[in-house]
Structure 1
Amino acid sequence: MDIMMSRLKKALSLLLASTVAFGTVINITHAQNIDDYVLSGSALVYNDENANTAAEIVAKMTLEQKIAQMLMPSFRYWKNGDKIGDVPVLNDEMRNCIKDHGFGGVIVFAENIKGTEQTIRLIDDMQNASVSGGNLPLLIAADQEGGRVTRLATGTSMSGNMSLGALNDKNIAKEYAEIMGSELSAVGINVDFAPVVDVNNAPNNPVINIRSFSSDPDIVADMGQAFIEGLHEEGVITALKHFPGHGDTGTDSHTGLPRIDKTYSEIKKLELVPFKRGIDANSEMIMTAHIQFPQIEKETYTSIKTGEKINLPATLSKTMITDILREDMGYNGVVVTDSLDMASIKDHFTLEDTAKLAINADVDMLLIPFYMMNAQDIAKIDEYIDSIADMVKNNEIDEATITRSAERIVSLKLERGLSEYNEDVEQKIKDAKKIVGCKEHHDRELEIAAKAVTILKNDRNAFPAKLGENEKAVVFCAAEDYFEGVKYGKQILKENNIIPESADIEVYSLENASFDEFKDKVKGAKYMIVDNVMTSLNSIDPSGSTVKFINSALSYAKENNIPSAVMSMFMPYDVARYQNADALFAVYSSKNMSSIPTEFDGETKSYGPGYTAAVCAAFNYIEPQGKLPVDIYELDNNNYSDKILYNIGYGLSYEKHEQESISEVTTEETAKENNTAKESKSGNRTGGNSSHKGLIVYNRDNSSSNDSVSQDSTEKNEKSDINNAPIKESKEIIMQVGNDIMTIDGIEVKLDSAPVIIDNQTLLPIRAIVEAFDCDVQWNDLEKTATVTDKSGRKTVFTVNDNTAYCNNEPKKIDTPPVIINSRMMLSIELISENFGYKVNRNEKQITIKKTGVGSYTDENAA
């Protein structure tokens, strides 16, 4: 016997080794340690107590009971006559439905969750109903993603996934998930349908957007893994979603059937990267996406809505679930569908065919096959279960497939201690009120949200804002719903002596308003801030009322020397529309606050931290440290162009005013391939720092300076970058050969590349000079060209190492071609005087440049 055991173990060991070496997948659950196997007869089997117990439990179930374990319904709404209401309490019909059927789980929504104590009692009622019928306890699931999608009415909402991507800190992501996990566990929710590990590589994605961590799969994978670890720390089951990826689509699967035209090899390199990491992090569940991948799943179905052939979406695809997820990726956990009541499924497939296709694809749990909103709907659940059982009897579904799914579900319950249910509900309520929405959680929520704020532009150090006695700032919000968050921010600033008690932050709504109504309000302000919410491309339509209001406000602020900022509160892509603002911030968090919290007793209504965080970041009470987790594209009318305006990893800071790249954004090889060079000054941003192939464009604001900013800069005489220099109608620039400090009307400005002399030619950094004289510079990293546009609209294009420049498309020969030094394009001193009409004088090593409109060059060193 020992010899046989030894030989079998050796054989299995070799098989497992070959699995690792050659990527072969075998369906052995938890195949980790060879000593975990025992001899049963002449077979070697895995000694998993839970699996064995699960198999024993499932073996005693009827076919209908096994099918019921695969169902996760919702009691979200209840209909009485013509009235549809929320369900914070079970009625007898619901309670008996749970008791009689023994479902695998129930999903709860905001319509079920109204308060901490109420939620605990509701879930306790559900669990008692299940076990009173002789069934196992339920998996109680919720979509508590954080930020935009949260369910706990009194919990800590947190700032959302994209804010975590902006911080790109695994420890913070883990702590963030721990906070949410502790609150879920406290009220009895044992499954979180999170994290979202979709890679948001479609800016116009209507359903994922800021629910995603990033457009970079490695950032998504890192944050997703940390998120899983945080939820596991609190005993909460995780569910990666939405497999195989919902990020690259412009259609919401709640309302339509999306289609992604990618090959398997393509999604392996992008969409599947975070899912593989999540599997390695032992996520117990994976949720599927109702999305067609026609290059991967070829099988079609005739839509009951249109009569047309459609490709099976991933949820119903055996290729996706069995071949790719189970076999290629080695996943043997519980696969749950997204809601089957979504339009992408129910509009095109019959109830019976949906169940058959999903089960045959090796999906384990069917989430919300249909809504049960009255006694008649509840009666349909028996018909539904019977229809699946009939398909088994008719050999349309293999019962072994259903048995395997039931065993996975039961095994998961046993692993999480759900073999029985015996809670002291009163003690649970008492304990939960110390955890759910506690002040410690909310304080950390605000700190994370504010730190994640990303500074994208800050001309002339317009921010952080500072208010003195009786001074005010004016904030415009998209709607009155957001006022309380701003007011709470003001309260925090005053409590911490950031602004004096007599100072004020006034808040107004721009909804259905004209800016002319508010000119008097803004006129006396020291700062003007607009908190904008972009939900789709329509939000930044230049003909829309919101865009017109904001542009009018920004123009008025410029005319009246009032520093202005636009805070992007939701999808960050709107910053491309408002380049005329002095400062631009991405906040990634737009959930509102209904009232300012006064106590944290476990029953305080949840709120979003974004608007409060925006105030704290604008005044530097909490230092904004975020870096862009997505690329921001330049706009072409009302569409995204292929030109990157701000690239992933970009972000400024108040102190250093530097742009730095997140180290995880690209690999070292990718960085080398794309000639990535770290930018150190925001005012001299060229495309050399891009980690992407394509045109990188940074538009410099050409408006005049705010007087107060100029005065502060003059008094302090601080060294700053070019974008921080005051702008006047007339300037004198003084530079020294070999010196990286230049002065603009007496104010020192730090250069990244000092003037040099090469082959008797004096070369100067073009961007520093032309931007100081209010020109715009665009850099094309692929073509190595700089396009300079002056106020008259004249465009001049220079190419590195090319003796031909183009002025309004007309070629012009130049004696000395531009060169790159320290990632900066350098032009000869003569070319600057001739082409831009500057008076240039060189005396020994000092170069003096004045804007006169008539170009001239004098070299006092010449004989």
Structure 2
Amino acid sequence: MIVKQMTIFGAVLGSLLVWAGSAAAEERFTDLQHSKWAEDGITYMAKRGTVAGYGNGMFMPERHVTRAQAVTFMVRELYSQELQQKVEGMPYSDVPSTHPFYREIAIAAKHGLTGGFPDGTFHPDAPMSRAETAAFLTRAYSLVKGQQTVRLTDTAKHWAAAPILIMSSNGLIGGYSDGTYRPDRSVTRAEFAVFMARVIRFEREVAIQAHDWDKLMSYMTVSEQVGQMLMPDIRQWNGHVTTTVNEGIKRSIHDQDLGGLILFDKNIVNARQVTTLTHDLQAEAGDIPLFLGIDQEGGVIKRIPGGTNLPGQMALGATGDAALAEAAGQLTGEELKALGLQVNFAPVLDINSNPDNPIIGIRSFGSNADLVTRLGLASIKGLRQSGVIAAVKHFPGHGDTTTDSHLGMPVLTHNRDRLDAVELKPFRAAIDNGIEMIMTAHIAFPAVDNEHVTSLKDGSSVPIPATLSKKVLTGLLRGELGYKGVIISDAFTMNAIAEHFGENKAVERAVSAGVDIILMPKDPAAAHQTLVNAVKSGTIPIETVHASVKRILELKSKYGLFDRGESLAHKLAALNDVIGSEKHRMVEREIAERAATLLAGRDGAHPDQIHQGDRVVIAAAEEEQVKQLEKQLTQAAKSLSLKTEIALIGKGKTNEALQAIDKADYVILASYQFRNAASQFGWADFQTLIEEMNRRSKRYVLLSLGNPYETIYLQNVRSGLAVYGKQEPNTAAGINVLLGRLEAGGVLPVITE
């Protein structure tokens, strides 16, 4: 009798030790070296918070699992939310209220998970058998017979024959090499963890194949669900540029259960490298693939080296051609998809109605709402046709601002009628045409939400930006405009958010406002923990998270992210036929050539032309720019016997430029105004040169390479041409106009009066 009492006491003590550590956080076990076959299953279940060790890094995988422990595992997996609630009633006479797992056994009995014995007992501290495990898991997960055939010689007449058959026919359990199952053999902690992991993974795969996202979410932990709502960048790790999947990235993907990542040009060396990178990233993602996104707007915002170098949105605006915008969207999508990227943060639907806008400018199609709407819809259509998600930006509109939200908090003071007529127009049209992802703006819109809070930066009163405003995102975007797709924030590294609100509080507030995905949190681990804590405390209702995650999963499925059968070798072999193909280059050239726009001409139709044998001075503020233009001009005009000279202006160099111009037959005066307010640009040196060239009757062109607002600030320009970008297709088209080989047929897409 004494021996029996000691055995029972030891079993209960062992049960207590099992849960000495917290089941809420993944434990790292140090005693699995002889149980490598079970390590993946144990680690998986520990990460889910279902199984735990003994608080000292020990899991004790070979120790038998008791019936009480098995019940506890299942309750923590299936009914963890009830563990903090009061339980009433215990149907088993041998489970006193003092039993360490009284609560778990009562919850299991309530839900019909457990089966007792005819005498009303449960035998909580008895070892769990393989037969009981099969019955237990089959009952808990309502499993049905599968298609596989497994012949077991010792189960046909066993009381658990049916659940054993169900489990084995789904590949969830197997027998021994002699064809037996040994149903009455006790199950170890390692075996039980592996059995549970197999069932959960099986059920998740069934849900994925059936596109049953509610079922899949029921098998996702809170950590996994909020992880789907995070999309960090991976530009650097430990101070080094990230171009391969290193241990830090692996750990972040796994620890925060990340749903996506954004790539930048720093992550990209060439097409083969980035294709390998995206392939390897997806390999780390488990059964729910990553959204892999990028800003490939074209023009000034271009991340892919070696790909098609599109002239940019304002160049498309100058063509006014929706078919070209669609073609640009489609070829962009084709190249991104070939590289393993599924989300393009484009097109920009901001209407650049303010010349002093320091961040949008040539990224916009123009200043006319109808033009932006028409070309924006065409671009979206092209991206869709290629199988890439268009994430339009920046809702409700960043076009009429004078502050860069990367640096501060812009405020758009227009009334609601103006917002409806201008800023909201392209977004409303995109929503009506089924746009699936919209990026928010870190801009305050007092006409929609005039709430203010105290800034953490300086204690001042600051307005709530759209990204954090429930009135803007839930009230206006989802309510009034009827948007049903995914809402993604702009980068959380931007000062409009980071300085004033504190990242963790801002993350919580953004999700409460209606954001589905937080883009580029400064500290992904902290953002993840913030959301986990907010859900567990009830600050963010779990229903809010479920709604966001369901939208994310549905969109991933719609664009085929769950279909991941293509090998890396096949992806790499296909690159040459897509990236920078001649077909794509033809579209690139056509946009650039048709975009070239006359700003001023002596005859009202043409800029001054370059002639045979001219001495051409190329003047600009940047040495790199003048050298590029000189190289392109020399290559394009080999037969004209031109003599070229470069000159820099500004920073005390303008007098030298004047001396060079004095000897010139023709002058290319190139200006590039972007990422600053047009009214604050250094126009004085340009005006000096223009006046001098006019006085000396020089042939020249004011070549606008950026925002085309020169004629607002410069007087008496007699020859001017806008090409909307300083990259090669734009400048090459401009040079061909100056050589008389092309007409400047573009129409200025912004107001300059």
TM-score (norm 2): 0.69
Alignment-derived partner of residue 641 in structure 2: 502
Residue 473 (structure 2) pairs with residue 311 (structure 1)? no
- My pick for the range that moved more, 554-563 or 409-418, is 554-563
Alignment-derived partner of residue 185 in structure 1: 337
Distance 1:369 1:350 in 2: 11
Residue 245 (structure 2) pairs with residue 90 (structure 1)? yes
- Give deviations 1:658-696, integer Å, cap 9, x for gaps: xxxxxxxxxxxxxxxxxxxxxxxxxxxxxxxxxxxxxxx
Alignment-derived partner of residue 437 in structure 1: 580
Question: SS of the residue aligned with 1:561?
Answer: coil
Matches within 5 A, 1:220-231: 220-231=372-383
Alignment-derived partner of residue 578 in structure 1: 714
Residue 654 (structure 2) pairs with residue 529 (structure 1)? no
Query: Of the candidates 69, 93, 99, which is equivalent to residue 254 of structure 2?
Result: 99
Distance 1:255 1:416 in 2: 34
Query: Of the candidates 490, 494, 505, which is equivalent to residue 633 of structure 2?
Result: 490
Structure number having the greater helix percentage = 2
Distance 2:263 2:427 in 1: 25
Please tell me the residue identity of whatever aligns with 1:96: R
Please tell me the residue identity of whatever aligns with 1:283: I
Please tell me the residue identity of whatever aligns with 1:547: A
Query: Of the candidates 683, 689, 702, which is equivalent to residue 553 of structure 1?
Result: 689
In the TM superposition, residue 506 of structure 1 has moved relative to its aligned partner by 3.9
Alignment-derived partner of residue 124 in structure 1: 279
Alignment-derived partner of residue 300 in structure 2: 148
- Give deviations 1:349-381, integer Å, cap 9, x for gaps: 133321221112121111112156xxxxxxxx1
CA pair 539-334 structure 1, distance change in 2 beyond 3 A: closer
Residue 222 (structure 2) pairs with residue 72 (structure 1)? no
Question: SS of the residue aligned with 1:455?
Answer: strand
CA pair 541-56 structure 1, distance change in 2 beyond 3 A: closer
TM-score (norm 1): 0.60
Q: Would you say the 8 A contact 1:54–1:414 is kept in 2? A: no
Distance 1:465 1:505 in 2: 17
Please tell me the residue identity of whatever aligns with 1:166: A
In the TM superposition, residue 539 of structure 1 has moved relative to its aligned partner by 6.5
Distance 1:250 1:469 in 2: 45
In the TM superposition, residue 610 of structure 1 has moved relative to its aligned partner by 2.5
Residue 728 (structure 2) pairs with residue 589 (structure 1)? no
Q: Would you say the 8 A contact 2:633–2:735 is kept in 1? A: yes
Question: SS of the residue aligned with 1:397?
Answer: coil
Q: Would you say the 8 A contact 1:68–1:385 is kept in 2? A: yes
Distance 1:516 1:387 in 2: 58
In the TM superposition, residue 219 of structure 1 has moved relative to its aligned partner by 0.6
Please tell me the residue identity of whatever aligns with 1:560: R
Distance 1:505 1:55 in 2: 68
Distance 1:525 1:444 in 2: 35
Query: Of the candidates 634, 651, 656, which is equivalent to residue 517 of structure 1?
Result: 656
Q: Would you say the 8 A contact 1:540–1:547 is kept in 2? A: no
Matches within 5 A, 1:137-536: 137-371=289-523, 381=525, 383-460=526-603, 463=606, 465-491=608-634, 493-494=636-637, 500-518=639-657, 521-535=660-674
In the TM superposition, residue 526 of structure 1 has moved relative to its aligned partner by 3.0
Between the two proteins, what is the percent identity of the paired residues?
Answer: 33
Distance 1:469 1:299 in 2: 65
Distance 1:167 1:487 in 2: 26
CA pair 252-518 structure 1, distance change in 2 beyond 3 A: closer
Distance 2:608 2:463 in 1: 54
Question: SS of the residue aligned with 1:609?
Answer: helix
CA pair 461-526 structure 1, distance change in 2 beyond 3 A: farther
In the TM superposition, residue 234 of structure 1 has moved relative to its aligned partner by 1.0
Matches within 5 A, 1:602-641: 608-632=728-752
Distance 1:502 1:556 in 2: 26
- Give deviations 1:461-485, integer Å, cap 9, x for gaps: 7945555543333221221212354
Distance 2:656 2:700 in 1: 18
In the TM superposition, residue 490 of structure 1 has moved relative to its aligned partner by 2.2
Please tell me the residue identity of whatever aligns with 1:514: K
Question: SS of the residue aligned with 2:449?
Answer: coil
Q: Would you say the 8 A contact 1:493–1:621 is kept in 2? A: no
Question: SS of the residue aligned with 1:282?
Answer: coil
In the TM superposition, residue 200 of structure 1 has moved relative to its aligned partner by 1.1
CA pair 491-234 structure 1, distance change in 2 beyond 3 A: farther
- My pick for the range that moved more, 566-575 or 295-304, is 295-304
Distance 1:476 1:337 in 2: 41
Q: Would you say the 8 A contact 2:357–2:676 is kept in 1? A: no
In the TM superposition, residue 266 of structure 1 has moved relative to its aligned partner by 2.5
Distance 1:208 1:451 in 2: 22
In the TM superposition, residue 168 of structure 1 has moved relative to its aligned partner by 1.1
CA pair 514-64 structure 1, distance change in 2 beyond 3 A: closer
Please tell me the residue identity of whatever aligns with 1:580: N
Distance 2:663 2:461 in 1: 63
Q: Would you say the 8 A contact 1:316–1:357 is kept in 2? A: yes
CA pair 439-465 structure 1, distance change in 2 beyond 3 A: farther
Please tell me the residue identity of whatever aligns with 1:56: K
Distance 1:363 1:468 in 2: 58
CA pair 181-622 structure 1, distance change in 2 beyond 3 A: farther
Distance 2:227 2:604 in 1: 62
Q: Would you say the 8 A contact 1:297–1:319 is kept in 2? A: yes
Distance 2:675 2:511 in 1: 36
Q: Would you say the 8 A contact 1:140–1:189 is kept in 2? A: yes
Distance 1:463 1:202 in 2: 27
CA pair 232-93 structure 1, distance change in 2 beyond 3 A: same
CA pair 407-97 structure 1, distance change in 2 beyond 3 A: same
CA pair 540-256 structure 1, distance change in 2 beyond 3 A: closer
- Give deviations 1:380-399, integer Å, cap 9, x for gaps: x1x53333222223221111
Q: Would you say the 8 A contact 1:566–1:575 is kept in 2? A: no
CA pair 262-506 structure 1, distance change in 2 beyond 3 A: same
Question: SS of the residue aligned with 1:475?
Answer: strand
- Give deviations 1:231-288, integer Å, cap 9, x for gaps: 1121110011000011111111111011111333321111110001111232210000
Residue 247 (structure 2) pairs with residue 111 (structure 1)? no
- Give deviations 1:513-540, integer Å, cap 9, x for gaps: 5344345643453322201112377766
Q: Look at both structures and tell me which one has the larger radius of gyration over its CA atoms.
A: 2
Question: SS of the residue aligned with 1:162?
Answer: helix
Q: Would you say the 8 A contact 2:609–2:740 is kept in 1? A: no
Alignment-derived partner of residue 841 in structure 1: none
In the TM superposition, residue 100 of structure 1 has moved relative to its aligned partner by 4.1
- Tell me the C-alpha RMSD between the 2 structures: 2.4
CA pair 491-439 structure 1, distance change in 2 beyond 3 A: farther
> Can you give the 5+ residue segments of structure 1 that lack an aligned partner in the other structure?
1-47, 373-380, 592-607, 633-643, 645-863
Please tell me the residue identity of whatever aligns with 1:573: Y
Distance 2:631 2:473 in 1: 47
> Can you give the 5+ residue segments of structure 2 that lack an aligned partner in the other structure?
1-206
Alignment-derived partner of residue 62 in structure 1: 221
- My pick for the range that moved more, 442-451 or 263-272, is 442-451
Please tell me the residue identity of whatever aligns with 1:55: D
Question: SS of the residue aligned with 1:529?
Answer: strand
Matches within 5 A, 1:660-675: none
Distance 2:494 2:304 in 1: 22
